[in-house]
Structure 1
Amino acid sequence: MDYRIVEKGAFTLVGLRTRIPLIYEGVNPTAAAFVEQIGEEQWTQIADLSDQEPHGVLSVHDAISPSRDEGTELDYYVAAATTEAVPADFEALEVRESTWLVLESSGEFPAALQELWPKAFREWFPANPYQSIPGPEMVLTEYTDDEQTSGRYELWIPVEKRENA
């Protein structure tokens, strides 16, 4: 499992937001319907706002239930990490200075992407001196084919060192 630890100053996520249920397998139909209604001009605006890591248009999960039970709701953003002003029709999520675990994978969509969360929580965290902390979890997806059936993925999870580490 490819990973890195990134120290990142405070920044703003700017984009569009909705509430969706947490779904662990397959394409989330609520998220997919939200993404489909985003117009080409809005996609371009979000992409143009991206001026820092992670670069590009991001899928962001925030206000996640501590239980992480399937079906619980969370805030879902299509957004960019930016220092730019917030356009009138967009929402902003202020993100504090944090340390981030960045897990990387590639393969079939959505399976290769969805495997990152269990790998993080079942494999990486138990073997490393960090724990996840509340905050947005960001996903960068770069498709490697025109059909958007496979790609390269980065999952960004806010973390802190465990006290007993």
Structure 2
Amino acid sequence: MDYRIEKLETFKIAGFAIHSTNAWLKGMRDCPAFWKKIIKEEKNEQLVPLINRKPFGLLGASVYNVDSTDPKKFDYYIAAATTQETPAGMSDYTVPAMTWAVFPCTRKTSGKTQMAIVKNWAPTSDYILLNTGYASGKMTSAAPDLEVYGMGDDVEIWVPVKEKSEG
């Protein structure tokens, strides 16, 4: 799989958020429906002027471990990485400093790419995924998983990692 490694300091994302759960695959229905709602209401246009730092593009950010009593619950943001003030009516989240494995793909192949990262790339790479529990939906997470939507059909999947040699 084609990928690159990016190291980013702490950064803020600002945008719109929903609460969801991996129970009964609900998140797989909630997130696409949320995108449709944001686009229909043209709220995505409010995010574009906020984009001023890496990762550049509209972000889909899955923030896990938001409920200490239920590891299946997560927040999903449609947001922008920004240094600007968070506008009224939007939420923000601080993403920790992290090393990321970045996988280019397209909108059509993003789901397959996400599966291939976990099933094929991670077991044989020099990196360890810092988020676990994908199969069970009971997540343990170091940082959000990011979908970065660029121009046209370009998408990148950003997953937090560390080198296996780091232990």
Query: If the TM-score is normalised by the length of the shorter chain, which range does it land in?
Result: 0.7 to 0.9
The residue aligned with 1:9 is 9
Report how far residue 20 of structure 1 moved: 2.5
Equivalenced residues, count: 148
Query: Retained in 1: the 8 A contact 2:100–2:161?
Result: yes
Offset of residue 103 of structure 1: 0.8
Cα distance in structure 2, aligned partners of 1:162 and 1:23:
30
TM-score (norm 2): 0.76
Identity %: 26
Aligned position for 1:118:
115
Cα distance in 2, alignment partners of residues 164 and 87 from structure 1: 39
Match of 2:159 in 1: 157
Distance 1:47 1:92 in 2: 15
* Structure 2 counterpart of 1:43: 44
Deviation at 1:123, TM superposition (A): 1.8
**Aligned equivalent of 2:137:** none
The residue type paired with residue 161 of structure 1 is E
Deviations 1:17-41 (A, max 9, x none): 102234999x93322332233222x
The change in CA–CA distance for 1:64 and 1:113 in structure 2 (over 3 A counts) is: farther
Match for residue 131 of structure 1? 128
* Alpha carbons 1:24, 1:114 under 8 Å: kept: no
**TM-score calculated relative to the size of structure 1:** 0.77
* Residue 140 (str. 1) matches residue 141 (str. 2): no
Deviation per residue, 1:38-89 (Å, 9 max, x gap): 222x322211111112211111111169xxxxxx432111001111111121
Q: Is the 8 A contact 2:12 2:83 kept in 1?
A: yes
CA distance in 2, matches of 1:158, 1:59: 14
**Structure 1 vs Structure 2 CA RMSD:** 2.6
When you count strand as a share of all residues, which structure comes out higher?
Answer: 1
Letter of the aligned partner of 2:11 in structure 1? F
Structure 2 vs 1, CA of residues 34 and 120 (structure 1 numbering), >3 Å: closer, same or farther? same
SS of equivalent to 1:53: coil
1:13–1:82 Cα contact (<8 Å) kept: yes
Partners of 1:153 and 1:24 lie apart in 2 by: 26
- Going by fraction, where is helix more abundant, 1 or 2? 2
Q: Which residue of 2 aligns with 1:88?
A: 88
- Secondary structure at the aligned position of 1:87 is classed as coil
